[in-house]
């Protein structure tokens, strides 16, 4: 009897049947690996079939759609991206049920300034956009929370002290500004972002030497290091950063004055990631030390694939160099991490560093990892379109 761990809810489902570590077998798996290494990407229909299987498995295993915190909100961001791709009404209905369960509210209420609490607003904005007669009540709590931060940004802009915050909060700022036609949202967002990125008065989480980001100030030079004494550059933390830049660039006009800075930051990170992608297509849980917990890990990899596919689709990176990166990552995920029934494994649990929730196994999953795969796959489907 195989035990499957759904970490976001604490529930454990028992599922019959053993599975080998790899879903592909023999010559077919070897041929797929050769194709991926050469930059070959699967057909759009094949990608969509995988995404449907993953989404349907999660929904079937979670009749209660869950809370409105960042982890489940990230799942719904991915599910609604899949809905936009497929038009499948079940996905929108499941997301609406979740949002209505929480009255389109934020954890800790509309006065919250915490980035994690604002993540649900990304899905609320998606649902708002689906409504033929948009209902302002769906985004009222989010807008109240973000607007208060916009209005006070000149004097108070130190809220984002960890790199995950960029993914949780930046997209709502950018999207609300676009929706309202009000550039003050983007201006404030960039003020917060700059404080987090740079050293002047802020945590200075960006490391220009590597092109990656430290999770928070505890990991800055002179702080926490790996067992071999190397800088700790957490994979999922950098995945959140890549996802943030991707979502913000999708929301902002191409000619927005801050867009070049975000494009440069994303391109720098993607170039650094290309140099250290593992031969099997994953990225290590610690980007700064390949010997530190060297097993496969999904939650960083899905967001790196998401950002890479976006950069390929928009011409930010050359196809000759980066299509093989995307192909290897997709192949790793569907061949090694994905079970035949749609269960996604090797997802590191909630935490704040590579050691969190270790060891990570093929039977460990979480909502934000599933959402990340749905985001990556929908962007990849648009690329091969």
Taking only the tens place, the pLDDT of each residue in 71-102 is 999 999 999 999 999 999 999 999 999 999 99
Domain assignment present for 28 = no
Whether 196 contacts 258, CB under 8 Å: no
As for how many domains the chain has, the answer is: 1
Rounded CA separation 88/228 (Å): 48
Domain assignment present for 132 = yes
Rounded CA separation 248/256 (Å): 11
Question: What three-state secondary structure class fits 40?
Answer: coil
Structural domain span for residue 124: 2-13+33-384
Percent of the chain with pLDDT over 90: 88
Once rounded to an integer, what is the mean pLDDT over residues 51-67? Answer: 98
Q: Which residues of 275-303 are buried (b: 16+ CB within 10 A; e: fewer)?
A: eebbeebbbbbbbbbbebbeebbbbbbbb
Structure tokens at 181: 């036609």
Rounded CA separation 323/311 (Å): 10
Whether 167 contacts 247, CB under 8 Å: yes
Torsion of CA 45, 28, 293, 342, to 10 degrees: 40
Structure tokens at 317: 């990176």
| Average pLDDT across the chain, whole number | 92
Predicted model pTM: 0.92
Domain assignment present for 19 = no
Domain assignment present for 18 = no
Once rounded to an integer, what is the mean pLDDT over residues 191-204? Answer: 91
Domain assignment present for 23 = no
pLDDT at position 18 over 60: no
Q: What is the pLDDT of residues 232-287, one digit of tens each?
A: 999 999 999 999 999 999 999 999 999 999 999 999 999 999 999 999 999 999 99
Once rounded to an integer, what is the mean pLDDT over residues 211-219? Answer: 97
Domain assignment present for 22 = no
Domain assignment present for 20 = no
DSSP class of residue 358 equals P
Domain assignment present for 222 = yes
pLDDT at position 12 over 50: no
Q: What is the pLDDT of residues 322-368, one digit of tens each?
A: 999 999 999 999 999 999 999 999 999 999 999 999 999 999 999 99
Q: In CATH, what number is assigned to the domain containing residue 299? A: 1.50.10.10
Question: For residue 199, what pLDDT is reported?
Answer: 76
Q: How many CA atoms does the CB half-sphere of 298 hold within 13 Å?
A: 34
- 3 membership: H or E segment, kind and range: strand 2-6
């Amino acid at each position: 009897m195989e035990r499957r761990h759904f970490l976001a809810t604490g529930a454990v489902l028992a599922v019959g049947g053993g599975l080998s570590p790899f879903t592909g077998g023999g010559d077919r798996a070897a041929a797929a690996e050769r194709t991926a290494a050469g930059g070959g990407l699967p057909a759009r229909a094949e990608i969509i079939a995988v995404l449907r299987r993953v989404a349907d498995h999660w929904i079937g295993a979670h009749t209660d759609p869950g809370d409105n915190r960042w982890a489940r909100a990230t799942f719904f961001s991915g599910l609604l991206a899949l809905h936009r791709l497929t038009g499948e009404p079940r996905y929108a209905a499941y997301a609406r049920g979740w949002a209505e369960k929480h009255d389109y509210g934020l954890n800790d209420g509309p006065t919250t300034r915490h980035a994690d609490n604002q993540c649900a607003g990304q899905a609320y904005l998606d649902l708002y956009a689906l409504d033929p007669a948009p209902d302002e009540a769906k985004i009222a709590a989010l807008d109240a929370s973000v607007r208060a931060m916009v209005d006070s940004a000149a004097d108070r802009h130190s809220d984002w002290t960890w790199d995950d915050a960029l993914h949780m909060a930046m997209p709502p700022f950018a999207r609300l500004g676009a929706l309202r036609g009000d550039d003050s949202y983007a201006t404030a967002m960039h003020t917060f972002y700059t404080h987090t990125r740079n050293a002047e008065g802020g945590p200075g989480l960006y490391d220009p030497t590597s092109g990656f980001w430290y999770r928070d100030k505890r990991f800055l030079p002179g702080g926490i290091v790996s067992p071999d004494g190397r800088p700790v550059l957490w994979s999922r933390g950098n995945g959140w950063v890549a996802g943030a830049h991707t979502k913000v660039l999708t929301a902002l006009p191409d000619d927005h004055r801050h867009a070049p800075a975000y494009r440069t930051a994303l391109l720098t990170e993607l170039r650094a990631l290309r140099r250290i992608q593992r031969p099997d297509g994953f990225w290590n849980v610690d980007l700064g030390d390949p010997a530190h917990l060297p097993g496969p890990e999904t939650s960083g990899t899905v967001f790196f694939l998401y950002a890479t596919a976006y950069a390929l689709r928009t011409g930010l990176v050359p196809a000759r160099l980066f299509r093989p990166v995307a192909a290897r990552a997709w192949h790793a995920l569907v061949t090694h991490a994905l079970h035949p029934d749609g269960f996604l494994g090797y997802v590191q649990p909630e935490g704040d560093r590579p050691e969190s929730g270790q060891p990570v196994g093929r039977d460990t999953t979480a909502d934000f990892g599933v959402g990340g795969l749905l985001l990556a796959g929908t962007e990849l489907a648009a690329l091969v379109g």
